[in-house]
Structure 1
Amino acid sequence: MLAVQRTIRRMCTSVDAPRVTRFSLNAPKNVELEYANGSKFSLSAEFLRVYSPAADGKIRSFGGEKVIFGRRYVGIMSAEPVGNYGVRIVFDDLHKTGIYPWDYFYHLGSNKFSLMRNYLKTLKKHGLSRDPQKRK
């Protein structure tokens, strides 16, 4: 778990992210960010939940590959500032341990389409769905 967090931190700090100038929570659907260089990103709740920087007990592991699935309809309940470096997002599936640094948001926004495409390929590869499992 600690190794994953270190990897994410290293990945985030390797991005030369500009200063964030606006953060807007549009609960439960998405967050919007603007950066000093003019970059603007709208990141959905599902996307943020799937790419949470926290280790999560609701992950299925396939040969060492961690896959979060069934989060298509997850919503954001709140966003709480954490110092000057980021935000803790609380999701309606009760996941609340992910702290998203501003540079990680920038990484996610800058790579949103390739990250989502890779996520969908991974789900397909393992026969999983974005939709939540049906209750019995």
Structure 2
Amino acid sequence: MTEERFASDPFGTVHWPLEIRLKREEKRLEVDFDDGRSFSYPAEFLRVVSPSAEVQGHNASQKQTVAGRRHVGIVGVEAVGNYAVRILFDDLHDSGIFSWKYLHEIGEGQDRLWDEYLAELAAKGLSREPKRR
């Protein structure tokens, strides 16, 4: 990799994607990385761990537990430079920039992060199901 590639990457990426596949019908994003790892991310998982300020806040004490997203889908994926993608969800959330580094990290920790999310929902009396109107 060239120094230019690293210089233009504000996230300090170590693992780069080789292929990204949006599976709209399956509500899933798949990413193959250059270290041989491949991750399949359900849309709901990506939505609730979005790196956006809306979800993560501006510090750890502001992190939000996003409920009611069991059926969320992905309508698009846009490149952000050569270091990230913006995922456009069908609930109109589109402010998270998912760096390659972040996608790799949440892929490696997906089971743990999902279990933590489910525990947060339970502790707060929230549900994965959307509220009925």
Taking structure 1 as the reference length, the TM-score comes to: 0.80
Q: Distance in 2 between matches of 1:70 and 1:85?
A: 30
Q: Distance in 1 between matches of 2:101 and 2:19?
A: 13
Q: Does 1:123 align with 2:114?
A: no
Once the two structures are TM-superposed, the CA of residue 17 in structure 1 deviates from its matched residue by 3.5
After TM superposition, which residue ranges in structure 1, 4 or more long, deviate above 6 angstroms?
Answer: none
Q: Distance in 1 between matches of 2:19 and 2:119?
A: 32
Judge conservation of contact 1:71–1:132 (CA < 8 Å) in 2.
Answer: yes
Once the two structures are TM-superposed, the CA of residue 87 in structure 1 deviates from its matched residue by 0.6
Q: Distance in 1 between matches of 2:41 and 2:50?
A: 12
Which stretch shows the higher mean deviation, 117-126 or 20-29? Answer: 20-29
Q: Distance in 2 between matches of 1:34 and 1:50?
A: 21
Change in 2 beyond 3 A, CA 1:56/1:107: same
Match of 2:104 among 92, 103, 106: 106
Once the two structures are TM-superposed, the CA of residue 89 in structure 1 deviates from its matched residue by 0.6
Taking structure 2 as the reference length, the TM-score comes to: 0.82
Judge conservation of contact 1:17–1:106 (CA < 8 Å) in 2.
Answer: no
Change in 2 beyond 3 A, CA 1:64/1:54: closer
Match of 1:49 among 47, 50, 67: 47
| Gap runs ≥5 in structure 1 | 1-9
Match of 2:72 among 67, 71, 74: 74
Cα-to-partner distance string for 1:55-87 (whole Å, 9 max, x where unaligned) = 228x9xxx8552111000000010011110011
Judge conservation of contact 1:21–1:35 (CA < 8 Å) in 2.
Answer: yes
| Gap runs ≥5 in structure 2 | 1-9
Aligned to 1:109, the other structure's residue is in SS state helix
Letter matched to residue 27 of structure 1: R
Q: Does 1:20 align with 2:17?
A: yes
Aligned length: 119
Q: Distance in 2 between matches of 1:126 and 1:134?
A: 18
- Percent identity of paired positions between Structure 1 and Structure 2: 41
